[in-house]
Amino acid sequence: MADTSVHIQALKKMLAANELIVDEQDMAAFCLDQRRRYQGKVWAVVQPTSVASVQAVVKYCFEHAIPITPQGGNTSMCGGATPSDAVAGLGIIVSLSKLNRVRGVNVADNCITVEAGRILQQVQADAAAAGRMFPLSLASEGSCQIGGNIACNAGGVNVVRYGPMRDLVMGLEVVLPNGDLVEQLTPLHKNTTGFDFKQLLIGSEGTLGIITAATLKLFAPVKTHVTAWVGVNNIEAAVLLLQTMQQHFAERLSSFELISAFALDLSSQLLQLQQPLQAPWHVLLELTDSTDNSLLQEQLMQVLWDAEFAEAVVAESEQQREQLWSLREHISEAQRHLGASIKHDIAMPIGQVATFIHQCEQVLQAAYPQATLVVFGHLGDGSLHYNVFMADILSNEVYQYETDINALVYEQVFAVGGTVAAEHGIGQLKTQWMPYMRTAQELALMQTMKQSLDSKNLFNVGKVLP
Among residues 243, 278, 395, 432, which is the contact residue for a second copy, using CB under 8 A? Answer: 243
Pick the piece of the chain touching a second copy (CB under 8 A) from 89-97, 103-111, 120-128, 357-365.
103-111
d(CA 189, CA 178): 30
Nearer to a second copy, 34 or 323 (CB): 34
Name residues whose C-beta falls within 8 Å of residue 314's C-beta, 6 or more positions apart in sequence: 226, 227, 228, 297, 300, 301
Q: What is the DSSP letter of 459?
A: B
Number of helices (H) and strands (E) in the chain: give both, helices first: 16, 16
Strand-pairing partners, residue 317, are none
Which residues ranging from 368 to 427 are in contact with a second copy (CB under 8 A)? 378, 381-383, 417-419, 421-426
Interaction between residue 167 and a second copy (CB under 8 A): yes
Q: Does 244 bind a second copy (CB under 8 A)?
A: no
Strand (E) or helix (H) holding 114: strand 111-115
Q: Which of 182, 270, 301, 398 binds a second copy (CB under 8 A)?
A: 182
Q: At closest approach, how far in Å is the CB of 203 from a second copy?
A: 5
| 140 forms part of the interface with a second copy (CB under 8 A) | no
291 binds a second copy (CB under 8 A): yes
- The answer to whether residue 442 forms part of the interface with a second copy (CB under 8 A) is yes
Q: How many CB atoms lie within 10 A of CB 295?
A: 11
Task: Determine the 3-state secondary structure of 190 from DSSP.
Answer: coil
Q: Which is nearer to a second copy, 272 or 441 (CB)?
A: 441
Three-state secondary-structure class, residue 222: coil
| Residue 464 contacts a second copy per CB under 8 A | yes
Q: Which of 255-263, 307-315, 359-367, 447-455 is the region at the interface with a second copy (rule: CB under 8 A)?
A: 447-455
289, β-bridge pairs? 224
Query: Residue 162 CA to chain centroid, in angstroms?
Result: 15
Task: Report the side by side order of strands in the sheet with 210-217.
Answer: 102-106, 111-115, 210-217, 169-175, 181-184
Name which position in 41, 103, 109, 398 contacts a second copy (CB under 8 A). 109
Q: Does 108 bind a second copy (CB under 8 A)?
A: yes
CA distance 321 to 330: 14
76 and 82 Cβ atoms separated by less than 8 Å = yes
Is residue 197 involved in binding a second copy (CB under 8 A)? yes
Q: Is 290 in the site for a second copy (CB under 8 A)?
A: yes
Least separation in angstroms between residue 423's CB and a second copy is 5
**Under rule CB under 8 A, residue 452 binds a second copy:** yes
437 touching a second copy, by CB under 8 A: yes
Whichever of 276 and 377 has its CB closer to a second copy, that residue is 377
Task: Rule CB under 8 A: say whether 79 interacts with a second copy.
Answer: no
- Which span (28-36, 245-253, 314-322, 362-370) binds a second copy, by CB under 8 A? 245-253
To a second copy, the closest distance from the beta carbon of 462 in angstroms equals 14
How far is Cα 133 from Cα 216, in angstroms, rounded to an integer?
Answer: 11
Cβ contact 242:209 at 8 Å: no
d(CA 134, CA 114): 12
Mark 54-91 as b/e (b = at least 16 C-beta within 10 Å).
Answer: bbbbbbbbbeeebbbbbbbbbbbbbbbbbbbeebeebb
Give, as ranges, the residues between 331 and 360 that touch a second copy (CB under 8 A). 347-351
Q: C-alpha dihedral over 165, 171, 173, 178, to 10 degrees? A: 80
Among 88, 98, 101, 180, binds a second copy (CB under 8 A): 180
Of positions 59, 101, 438, 456, contacts a second copy by CB under 8 A: 438
Is position 203 an interface residue for a second copy (rule: CB under 8 A)? yes
Q: How far apart are CB 31 and a second copy at their closest, in Å? A: 24
Note whether 239 binds a second copy by CB under 8 A: yes
Q: Which is nearer to a second copy, 301 or 434 (CB)?
A: 434
Residues 258-287 that bind a second copy (CB under 8 A): none
The least CB distance from residue 18 to a second copy, in Å, is: 29
Between 9 and 294, whose beta carbon lies closer to a second copy? 294
Binding mask 12-31 for a second copy (x = CB under 8 A): --------------------
Is 18 or 192 the residue whose CB approaches a second copy more closely? 192
Q: Longest C-alpha distance within the chain, in Å? A: 74
193 binds a second copy (CB under 8 A): yes
- Which of 116, 117, 95, 99 minimizes the C-alpha distance to 26? 95
Between 19 and 173, CB nearer to a second copy: 173
Euclidean distance between CA atoms 96 and 315, whole angstroms: 39
